[in-house]
Structure 1
Amino acid sequence: MQDDPQDGQQSEDGSPRGQRTRQTIYEEAMRLFETKGFRGTSMRDIAAACGVTKPALYYHFECKSQLLAKLYEDITAKFFEDVREIAAAQDSAESNLRRLVVSQSIYNINNRRFLQIFWNERHELEGEARDALARLEREFEATVQSLMERGQAEGAFAEAPPKVVTYAVLGLLSTVHRWALYTDRPPEVVAEHIADLVLGGVIRRGDA
């Protein structure tokens, strides 16, 4: 990878070349974080792995923590866009919950390598990046809880504390990236099975 011409400056380059450069940095950083850990990896290590100078790397990221935060932003951007679209949909709570569970399951499975690194290293985020992550997580939790409450109001979901059910569902979804590979099933198939399991637990049953 060639050095960027404006060494020492932070990049907001959205050009195809800039995007390719960032992708190379992401890939090499993840490889190093996997093998050496976040704290054991220096910006010099990342620059060397990418074949650039340290100033060229700092053109894109001012520190490792920012690199990790930007990697999270880029990888999750489409997922959170989909979540907001699902939350705004005027379908039934049951339909929206299924779409949300399937969407997160597929996302988690397809990004299992990154998620393993991120769950190990997220405590290294600093300042605004840490606050931004907390806001995104609270927003997502609120979306799921709102679906639970709406489903109960519609009479479709069983009566149970919505917050308890929300955390139970999120707990299940947060681990799928660790074990889905061992099922020998495509992500889409695993996601549908998880959705069946979740909905089977929350849908209201007829009187016995």
Structure 2
Amino acid sequence: MTASERVGGRRKPDGYDPQRTRRALVDSALARFERDGFDRTTLQDIVDDAGLTKGAFYYHFDGKEEVLWQIQNEYLDTQIAQATAIVTGSDAPVEQLRALIGLSLLGAADYRSHVAIFHQERRHLTGDRLDSIIRKRDELEQHFRDAVRRGIEQGVFRSALNERIVTFAIIGMCASAFQWYRPGGRLSIDEVAGQFCDLVLDGLLA
């Protein structure tokens, strides 16, 4: 019997689905980290909520930090892929920035728990894992910054603007949405995104 045939020292049961098991563990950790925080969440909490064992956990992850890293990657990888598609699909800075703001707000709604954990629990990552998340965060932010810079260079946005300050202001405003936006409220996320875009662009346009 090979190690890959075992979970926690036991033979995998017939019909064992490693992807489903891994997903269950990530989802369990996601809910726990958001509710209780990384420090207060125990490994036993995660496996109990997932209906699994510690053996199953260690088959997929080396510890809580790796699960936290996985959660961060899920959100950032999705955002980066979509942001890249936005900036390569249009040369117009206004269209790019409007789409990027919409993407960020939709991310805060669709990945609310991921975003909350990204901002509140990222400090628990260390070493190469932390470095990789910072690189991805910077890559995502660069798409916003490039759109702002192009708008200034093309005379579409006001020349007195500092692209770095503008970028941080936009991202900070969008990132805060996870704290107050709730699906089913008076405004849909698309309506919120529209108002955010109007607010930002009114302050940028030359």
Q: Which TM-score band (shorter chain)?
A: 0.7 to 0.9
- For structure 2, the 5+ residue unaligned runs are 10-15
SS in 2 for 1:38: coil
Q: How far apart, CA to CA, are the structure 1 residues paired with 2:75 and 2:22? A: 12
Which residue in the other structure is 1:188 paired with? 190
1:101-146 CA-partner distances (Å, limit 9, x unpaired): 1111111122223322332211111211100111012112222111
Q: Does 1:200 align with 2:195?
A: no
Query: What is the TM-score of this pair, normalised by structure 2?
Result: 0.85
Q: Distance in 1 between matches of 2:154 and 2:71?
A: 39
Separation in structure 2 between the aligned mates of residue 34 and residue 106 of structure 1, nearest angstrom = 19
Q: Which residue of 2 aligns with 1:77?
A: 77
Q: What is the CA RMSD across the aligned residues, in angstroms? A: 2.2
Query: Deviation above 4 Å: which 4+ runs of structure 1?
Result: none
Number of aligned residues? 195
Give matches, 1:115-134, under 5 Å. 115-134=115-134
**Per-residue Cα deviation, 1:11-47 (whole angstroms, up to 9, x for no partner):** xxxxx93332222212221232244321122222212
Query: Which amino acid counterpart does residue 120 of structure 2 have in structure 1?
Result: N
Deviation for aligned residue 1:72: 1.7
Aligned residue type for 1:199: L
Q: Mapping of 1:9-48 within 5 angstroms?
A: 17-48=17-48
Change (3 A) 1:134 1:53: same
Q: Which amino acid aligns with 1:111?
A: Y
The residue aligned with 2:179 is 178
Contact 2:31 2:113 in 1 (8 A): no
Question: 1:86 aligns to what?
Answer: 86
TM (norm. structure 1) is 0.85
CA spacing shift, 1:36–1:78, aligned 2, 3 Å: closer
Which residue does 1:12 correspond to in 2? none
How many percent identity over aligned positions? 28
Q: Which runs of 5+ in 1 are unaligned?
A: 10-15
- 8 Å CA contact 2:79, 2:107 repeated in 1: yes
